[in-house]
Structure 1
Amino acid sequence: MTLSKDLLRPLVLLLALCLYAAQSMAQQVNQDSLYIRQNYEKAEYQIPMRDGKKLFTVVYSPKDKSKKYPILMNRTPYSVGPYGEGYKTSLGPSPTLLREGYIFVYQDVRGTYMSEGEFVNMTPHLDKKKGKKDIDESTDTYDTVDWLVKKLDNDNGNVGQWGISYPGFYAAAGLMSNHPALKAVSPQAPIADWFWDDFHHNGAFFLPHAFNFLSSFGLPRPEPTTQRNPRFDHGTPDGYEFFLRMGPLKNANEKYLKGKVPFWNDIVAHPNYDEFWQKRNLLPHLKNIKGPAVMTVGGWYDAEDLYGPLKIYQTIEKNNPKLTNMIVMGPWVHGGWARTDGSNLSGVYFGQKNSPWYQQEVEARFFNHYLKEGAKTPVKLPEAVMFEGGNNTWREFEVWPPKQAQEKTLYFHENGKLNFEAPAAGEAEASAYISDPAKPVPFTEEVALGMTREYMADDQRFASRRPDVLTFQTDVLTEDLTLAGEILAQLKVATTGSDADWVVKLIDVYPDSAQANPHQPNKPMGGYQAMVRSEVFRGRFRNSFEKPEPFTPNQVTPVNVELQDVLYTFKKGHRVMVQIQSTWFPLVDRNPQKYVDNIFEANEEDFIKATHKVYHSPQQPTSLKVKVL
């Protein structure tokens, strides 16, 4: 087949853009790697903890010994490699801080790679410690910091800690160490509670994310090693087909994992929010923090850990009112502020390269102020540095959510209408759809094995055209509408089954006249349905996450779904859309829709079709509670 010039031209342009981006990243890596080799020396240590275990730690120190340097530490379960003579190709949170003059410390956390001890996922924090055997991440942080400031000969006595994702959890847990030398901590995309971050969202199970991660990371490490576990081979690039063919969740162990992944077995054994999960919740322990300034960082489009940054900031703010406590939320995917330029995602363009600005004007200023300048006063940065989507601009607030935001309610109506007026008498009482677990709604049009980072901003037209997805939208907006803060979907629903999931998606519908974006100049944007926020709720947990209960068939039942915060402007000429559905595959495992005590043990025959209704009558209104700025 021969391509015409009209078809060939956009393909050539797209290839050129991809090649340019790859070359730019490679050049940065090469520049950083050369700088590290020329300016840093590397040393490896086994640092003793109070219980006698030793944690493998790598220290990169400036070769220039004419002055003292602050320490920036990263504690990780993902390896501090390369081990031995090899050097990292990047150091610190950013290329900016790499060149600012720091001692960079990386540590394999307890029980991972070359560190001694037993690894425990989301190590439970012990508020009261009776002896040297009572250890957690706060004690390991304290002992590490104490060793560093006493044993290194070229530090200035000030220590900072940062980490993204799981290392973000270790940074947040390190806050409770209260070591006097720990002056600044930045938990970035931190995990707060694994019943809402990563593997679970409101009790619903994020299947490919958990399976793909734990099938490798979750394998036991019987002795110290420098080697990573092999990745699971799915035998196909199509995750939708792989997980559909796998069948009920019980088949994951029977067909593939064979009981060899301990934490998968823990998930299966604890389907509800019981003590196992509760003791891994970091939030109740974020109190009595005595010293370090805190800057929590997250991405509005983080498919893994959006709950963690927002809740950690809010909890620290509530429990430690005198502490310097900041939050930064940008237009980023998971860790995107350090791994991408932050200019676009899927079809959405964010106006500029946002990551370099953050690295230079926010992150570097934060750490330099507290670690290099030894400041006793707060850094001159606002408490909340937040990116406003839609308008593509950064905004500053004294507190988050902003106090000036006014609560309003968007109501659902018959014929797919959505507005700020309550339903009137005479309207149809409900909209219905049939949900079939055998033919679940895909979460993306892409062929992928895992949770794509783009899905958080993808065009949702493929879903709105399905009969098992309800769509409600406003008229064309006559003025801008800015939402700032949390969103609560207050659903009134009924089902012919006895269990169901409820997926709620908030969407920005572009006008038909929308122009192509700079990063995809040949992609038509007219009518694009950009997902702004989305969440899923496993209906059995509507009254309690500890004690699930079935639905009574055909009985109208309230289900409240917290969608997490936004800062987003729906522009004049756009529409606001909300989609409701009950499958989101394979992102979320399939709910059988017939109540069983443990979905991880459900059988094939438990999966049934069900008709779901969303009510929008004056007596049973469904609505979206928002905060308008």
Structure 2
Amino acid sequence: MPAVATALLAFSAGAFARQDAAPKYPDYPSETPASFTPVNADADFERRVVMIPMRDGVKLHTVILVPKNLNGDHAKHAGIVLTRTPYDADALTTHSQSGNFAANLEGYDNPADVIVEDGYIRVVQDVRGKYHSEGDYVMNRPVHGPLNPTPVDDATDTYDTIDWLVKHVPESNGKVGTLGISYDGFEPLMALIHPHPALKVSVPMNPMVDGWMGDDWFHNGAFRQQNLPYIYEQTATRDNSAKWWSNVQDDYDLYLRAGSAGELARQHGMQQLGFWQKMLDHTEYDAFWQDQAVDKLLAKEPLKVPVMLVHSLWDQEDSYGAIAVYKAIKPKDTTGTMVKLVMGPWHHGQEIEDASSLGALKFGSDTGRYFREQVLRPFLAQYLKDGAPKADVAPVTAFQTGTNRWERLSNWPAGCGGSCKVKPTPLYLDAGMKLGFENADDGDSDAYVSDPAHPVPFRARPIQPVGYDAGQTWSQWLVDDQREASGRTDVLTYTSDVLTSPLTIAGQPQVHLTASTTGTDSDWVVKLIDVYPDMVGNQPEMGGYQLAVAMDILRGRYRQGFTESRPIEPNKPLPYTFALPTTNHVFLPGHRIMVQVQSSWFPLYDRNPQTFVPNIMLAKPEDFQKATQKVFHSSYLELPVVASGKGS
């Protein structure tokens, strides 16, 4: 080794030795405390954060906001409004850096005007396994039973939470109500199973009820693949910190290039996720789905707690749940006072926001404020406020679209007493692409070619992902102008003559297709549409607008029953029957009725390969084949037509 290098090494070694031998400086005291408790003497509420123990020892993170009066004194004898959520209790109760109660509650799940102005104690809790709560997370955790061998579920967690609250929140009057939207609307329904005596009222809004039949995961067997990012973010981590990624601007391209939902999930590592594996394993309506369908569960339970079910007529996520629960529990309401139904012209959750419009539609008033002030406020007060009067809330409060007016009805759908009735009325898909109320079946059909390589977009491209961030229009897609589809050769479009008198429908239109395919599997998408006049004087942009009133999809392999998939016999006319979502609409004079039929609705739903395979989510590229589809003129939609009269 050269002498210079040896000297340098010796110098370096000596320098490091001297550095190691140097005395260490004392630690500099940190200026950040180990924990910090905010203090705001001017706040009009007190924030308490507690870990509430459940019966199995797991503790759930709970935020309690207790209002104060102008003198700074805490509320006394106040009712409690509880929401249980997988979406971060801290975030839902910290929308502002101020000490203003209302400002902190603005946003998802918080009808802040009602909660604050009526002086309720607000409680929001992380469900087990999410964010700051202990325990394991299971998506929509099933109740104790075949799907859940543990002694705990969302019903028992709600019971234990209420029990703790009424014993440890001295400002309360011992009365608790629960409300929430979507997943958080599922939780008030769980509270109805063996409810705590202190639970006095439940308000499920746009609830998740049956994920296979018509809510978040499937619709009549067709998989809602645009919910893959939700499944990914909701189940991959406790705090949703793992974010879905995409380097494709148009979701249409993203899902088409992947080929199948299963392949796109694999590319994102979703095989590690327990809930996704359950989806792959249960593509049919088997016991896994049936045993956790909330409407079926509540049909077996006694009705002990007053319930207000809130439904959005253009709910782009959970169009099935609220109506299904209403059908299940209304027969138990022997007094006619325990079950209320509200239907508004809203997207998913819009009832707690400004709701004077939706997309291009304008309603002439803030329908969300009407609901909160005239319906929700008195209903909650009746059960949660000491000495409050009985609420003057109709059994059914329904907004009628088309005429843009609220109705007070005795029941649903035939809610107008003896003055009118709902009459099932066939509307036929006739020759010449016409719609008519007379059966003019000529034995013929109309045909189109469905090509999985060019699926029909469910809205104009580029298609945004599911989301509610600024600039995103996911919440409006159900009211998109359907002219985008009616001009395609792979969409059949039937149109009525111009109406000379109003046509009112109230209920669920029933699809009765007679159709054939050259393939061995097929999807059928049917849309009921209100076509506006060519010119609309007070809103020119609505000229010729094609407004979807109700639309949905059926996966053809389930035409003989949802519990077992079966191939379709090629080239044979077969019946396909399914229900569209609930409507309360008037087709006005000067308008026309339209029905569209197609075989893909992409990328909202995964593509049917049109070749029967055991699991469409795992279909291979070679499985996807063109098919010629025929719709016969014996096909019709059974409309729930209101024969005469008006709502009381």
Q: TM-score if structure 1 supplies the norm length?
A: 0.88
Partner of 1:279: 291
Q: What do the CA deviations read for 1:320-362 (whole angstroms, capped 9, x no partner)?
A: 43461001110100100113x1122222222221111111111
| 2:43 maps to 1:70 | no
Select 2:622's aligned residue among 605, 614, 624: 605
1:317 aligns with 2:317: no
Q: Structure 2 stretches of 5 or more lacking a match?
A: 1-39, 416-420, 467-473, 643-648
Select the residue among 207, 212, 234 that pairs with 1:190: 207
Q: Offset of 1:288 from its aligned partner?
A: 3.2
Superposed displacement of residue 127, structure 1: 7.0
1:124 to 142, 145, 148: 142
* Residue identity matched to 1:367: L
Does the alignment pair 1:299 with 2:304? no
- For the residue of structure 1 that corresponds to 2:334, the secondary structure is coil
Match of 2:179 in 1: 162
Matched, 1:178 2:187: no
Secondary structure of 1:161's aligned partner: strand
Shift of 1:484: 0.5
Shift of 1:279: 2.1
Task: Say if 1:94 and 1:359, in contact at 8 Å, map to a contact too.
Answer: no
Secondary structure of 1:218's match?
Answer: helix
Query: Matched residues in 2 for 1:242 and 1:58: separation?
Result: 39
The 1:388–1:193 alpha-carbon spacing in structure 2 relative to 1, beyond 3 Å, is same
Query: Aligned match of 1:462 in 484, 489, 501?
Result: 484
Q: Does the CA contact (< 8 Å) of 1:288 and 1:319 recur in 2?
A: no
Residue matched to 1:24: none
Q: How many residues get paired?
A: 575
State how far apart, in whole Å, the 2-side matches of 1:363 and 1:77 are.
Answer: 24
TM superposition shift of 1:515? 2.9
Q: Structure 1 counterpart of 2:80, which letter?
A: I
Q: SS of 1:411's equivalent? A: strand
1:274 and 1:220, CA in 2 relative to 1: closer, same or farther beyond 3 A? Answer: farther
Equivalent position SS for 1:177: coil
- Asked if the contact 1:501–1:537 (Cα under 8 Å) also holds between the matched residues in 2, the reply is yes
Matched, 1:590 2:590: no
Please give the alpha-carbon distance, in whole angstroms, between the structure 2 residues aligned to 1:83 and 1:446. Answer: 33
Q: Given the superposition, is the C-alpha separation of residues 390 and 541 from structure 1 closer, same or farther in structure 2, using an over 3 Å criterion?
A: same
Q: Structure 1 CA distance, aligned partners of 2:483 and 2:464? A: 22
**1:231 partnered with 2:249:** no
1:106 and 2:136 matched: no
Q: Helix, strand or coil: the match of 1:362?
A: helix
Q: What amino acid sits opposite 2:274 in the alignment?
A: P
2:544 to 523, 527, 551: 527
Whole-angstrom CA distance in 2 between matches of 1:555 and 1:513 = 43
Q: 2: CA distance between counterparts of 1:362 and 1:258?
A: 43
Structure 2 match to 1:443: 458
Contact 1:185 1:294 in 2 (8 A): yes
Q: What is the match of residue 3 of structure 1?
A: none
Map of 1:434 onto structure 2: 449
String of CA shifts for 1:379-426, please: whole Å, max 9, x gaps.
Answer: 3210110110000111111001115212211111011111110124xx
Deviates more, 1:365-374 or 1:558-567: 365-374
AA matched with 1:297: V
Measured on the aligned residues, the alpha-carbon RMSD in Å equals 2.2
Q: CA deviation at 1:544?
A: 1.4
- The 8 Å contact of residues 291 and 297 in structure 2, kept in 1 or not, is answered as no
Which blocks of at least 5 consecutive residues in structure 1 are unaligned? 1-34, 222-226, 518-522
**1:571, 1:206 → 2: CA distance?**
33
CA distance in 1, matches of 2:329, 2:465: 33
Measure how far apart 1:264 and its partner are: 1.6
* CA–CA separation in structure 2 for the residues paired with 1:436 and 1:128: 42
Deviation at 1:374, TM superposition (A): 5.2
1:386–1:396 contact (8 Å) kept in structure 2 = yes
Is residue 215–residue 257 contact of structure 1 (8 Å, CA) maintained in 2?
Answer: no
Partner of 1:332: 346
Tell me which amino acid in the other structure corresponds to 2:374.
E
Which is higher, the Rg of structure 1 or of structure 2?
Answer: 2
Please give the alpha-carbon distance, in whole angstroms, between the structure 1 residues aligned to 2:291 and 2:42: 43
Post-superposition shift, 1:449?
A: 2.9
Query: For 2:92 and 2:596, how far apart are their aligned partners in 1?
Result: 49
What are the superposed Cα offsets for residues 566-614 of structure 1, whole Å, 9 maximum, x if unpaired? 0000000100100000011111110000000111111000000000111
Distance 1:75 1:37, change over 3 A: farther
How far apart, in 1, do the equivalents of 2:297 and 2:270 lie?
36
Aligned-residue identity in percent: 39
Whichever residue aligns with residue 43 of structure 1, its letter is R
Are 2:90 and 1:81 aligned?
yes
Give the superposition deviation at 1:285.
Answer: 1.6
Partner residue, 2:12: none
Change (3 A) 1:374 1:614: farther
Aligned partner of 2:471 in structure 1 is none
| Alpha-carbon shift at residue 489 of structure 1 (Å) | 0.6
Query: Using the alignment, how far apart are the partners of 1:116 and 1:370 within structure 2?
Result: 32
1:4-403 superposed matches below 5 A: 38-63=43-68, 64-65=73-74, 67-82=76-91, 89-90=104-105, 92-126=110-144, 134-195=151-212, 196-208=214-226, 210-221=227-238, 227-286=239-298, 287-322=300-335, 324-339=338-353, 341-373=354-386, 379-402=391-414
Partner of 1:543: 560
Deviations 1:29-59 (A, max 9, x none): xxxxxx9973111001111111111111110
What amino acid does structure 2 have at the position aligned with 1:445? Answer: A
Q: Distance in 2 between matches of 1:186 and 1:83?
A: 18
What displacement does 1:318 show? 2.4
CA displacement, residues 539-570 of structure 1 (integer Å, 9 cap, x when unaligned): 10111111110110001110002102100000
Q: Is the 8 A contact 1:443 1:584 kept in 2?
A: yes
Contact in 1 for aligned 2:610/2:625 (Cα 8 Å): yes
- Residues of 1 paired with 2:367 and 2:491: CA distance? 34
Equivalent residue, structure 1, for 2:587: 570
1:128 Cα deviation from its structure 2 partner: 11
For the residues of structure 1 that align with 2:372 and 2:579, how far apart are their CA atoms?
31
What residue is the counterpart of 2:33 in the other structure? none
CA contact (8 A) 1:129 1:135 kept: no
Mapped to 2, the partners of 1:346 and 1:329 lie a distance apart of 18
Is this contact kept in 1: 2:255–2:261, CA < 8 A? no
How far is 1:97 from its partner? 2.4
CA contact (8 A) 2:50 2:63 kept: yes
Q: Distance in 2 between matches of 1:211 and 1:84?
A: 27
Q: TM-score of the superposition, structure 2-length normalised?
A: 0.85
Q: Secondary structure at the match of 1:253?
A: helix
Measure, in 2, the Cα distance between the counterparts of 1:153 and 1:296.
30
> How far has the Cα of 1:83 moved from its partner?
9.8
Q: Which residue of 1 aligns with 2:9?
A: none
1:83-111, Cα deviation, whole Å (9 max, x unpaired): 99978721642323222101000000111
